[in-house]
Amino acid sequence: MPVTHVALLRGINVGGRNRLPMSELRDLFTEAGCRDVQTYIQSGNVLFQAEPGIVSSLSDTVTKRIAERFSFRVPVVLRAVEEMEGIVRHNPWQGVAEDELHVLFLAEEPAAGRVDRLDPDRSPPDAFIVQGREIYLRLPNGMGRTKLTNDYFDAKLATTSTARNWRTVMKLLALMEA
């Protein structure tokens, strides 16, 4: 039975780099066997339904096809609707202003030893909490001023991440549940 998922692409249509029209992105997912494909804003959020067999190789398939057609590589991180519900439910900063909250979605769950080596004082007053394949960020001064970046976490945790602000997380979940 098909399950609703979201694909979170990192670094497309940001600052004039890695331009990828949403219509072509939707086509890539449809060609890969996904149904009911829709995008949300221009920054690489793709909602779709697919069978588990398709989802298991979808990140690699989409990354490869984007590289072939557009000549750049883009990491693709997937989450099912149930996972997104859990991410919202387990937000450790309930009640904090949503413009301070962001989530880093990790491609793989990091090893505990790597998580233990993260520096909690890297970027005061910013804070983070790692829960499974997500890192919840509280950034009072915004994403543009923090040292808690994708590159920092990717290097320290040996994985790939992509960030979304809390408003986008909530909107994606609402679209997935609709």
Q: What does the alpha-carbon distance between residue 47 and residue 6 come to, in Å, rounded to a whole number?
A: 4
Domain architecture of the chain: domains with CATH: 3-74 (3.30.70.1280), 89-177 (3.30.70)
pLDDT at 43: 86
pLDDT at 155: 97
- Residues 34-93 have pLDDT tens digits of 999 999 998 899 999 999 999 999 999 999 999 999 999 999 999 999 999 999 999 999
Q: What does the alpha-carbon distance between residue 85 and residue 49 come to, in Å, rounded to a whole number?
A: 16
pLDDT at 64: 96
pLDDT at 170: 97
* C-beta of residue 45 within 8 angstroms of C-beta of residue 176: no
Mean pLDDT of 2-25: 90
Q: Report the Cα–Cα distance between both ends of the chain, in Å, rounded.
A: 17
- Residues 11-21 have pLDDT tens digits of 898 777 889 99
* Helix, strand, coil percent content, the chain, rounded in steps of 5: 40, 25, 35
